[in-house]
A and B are shown apart, each in its own frame.
Chain A
């Protein structure tokens, strides 16, 4: 199975900051990577698919990049509603695997 290593596991930041979260795949997955946001007690929500495509309705401050094994989610100017846990998911091959998650907290 492809292992997804996500870092950092937690992150403290302030409103207005630029934040970067990374995911590394144990083998190449082309651009078959998604990013999800999850708030406490809620279902995840898609942000980015295909490594860099912004889902309709998601604010443009979210962006994704990468291909192969290394991927990045960037939030360009943190807003209060962005404090949540973020997960990457590889969709290249079964079993689909998530990163361990990054909990983004208010500094």
Chain B
């Protein structure tokens, strides 16, 4: 069974740091691009970051560029999101997501259950 299990969320003060992890199982992790998507309380979904299969390419939303870093360790089947200089508006559930390519279409076919980040003093 394909599974994504996020961890590392919690309460952090403004300006602080957290590292989220996402442990993947049930598929060949190194064959798939991955993403982080977040959802603030009561709000909609927001794409945060993407990383290629090898980790050689990464992309960020403007709202997190320069503060967040996505990475992956294919030997450990794990995706990471290093979050620095956290702000109140980063408070959200963070979802790890697996991206599949079918023909010329790519989409998220598997989501983790999410981990919650709360930025507050």
State the A residues within 8 Å of B (CB): 1, 31-32, 34, 36, 38, 42-46, 49-50, 53, 55, 87, 89, 91, 94-101
Contacts and interface: CB of A to CB of B under 8 A. Distances in A.
A46 B105 contact: no
Given A43-B113, A45-B111, A87-B45, A95 B105 contact: no
B1 interface: no
Nearest to B103: A50
Nearest to A45: B111
A46 B106 CA distance: 12
Contacts of A98: 44-47
B105 A91 contact: yes
B105 A53 contact: yes
Given A43-B111, A94-B59, A49 B105 contact: yes
